[in-house]
Amino acid sequence: MINIEMARDYIIRSKRFLREAETALAEGDNAASIRRSQEALEMAAKALLRAVGIEYPRSHDVSDVLIDHKDSLPENIKCEVEDLATLISQLASIRGIALYGYEREGIPPSKAFTKDYAERTFLAVKKYVNLIEEIFKNFRIIE
């Protein structure tokens, strides 16, 4: 089902999460930046899927759906789908660590990620969120 209102809301939320990731990064909270980056990317990917009428599983990792439906996506993201899917999957796998750390080992989230990794993650996510936002602007889904 295509639900443009939901897709629009998702991309707006994605941009908010991205701003929060940037703030956390600037404040030296690498784990929070990674967690918010993951949420931003998840929401952007789900916004894209919803806008083109592709149902996705109610999970944090929609990488398989993106790959399976690559041909249904706008041209300017088709060439990026494999890298986008890899990033989504990678971040979905560490979203819990970014919130809770390695509990069994006694490693808090603040010690789980380096600044370099958080910066690279943020920049990669920003690229895809902006690309998806541009698709929405081109199709006049958002202003």
Q: Please, what is the angle between helix 30-51 and helix 115-138, to 10°? A: 20
Q: What domains can you pick out in the chain, each with its CATH number?
A: 4-138 (1.20.120.330)
Q: Which pLDDT value is given to residue 138?
A: 80
Tell me what the pLDDT averaged over the chain comes to: 94
Cα 32 to chain centroid distance, Å, stands at 14
What is the reported pTM?
0.94
pLDDT tens, the chain, 143 aa long: 558 889 999 999 999 999 999 999 999 999 999 999 999 999 999 999 999 889 898 999 999 999 999 999 998 899 999 999 999 999 999 999 999 999 999 999 999 999 999 999 999 999 999 999 999 888 766 66
Q: Is 89 exposed, middle or buried (0-12, 13-18, 19+ CB in 10 A)?
A: middle
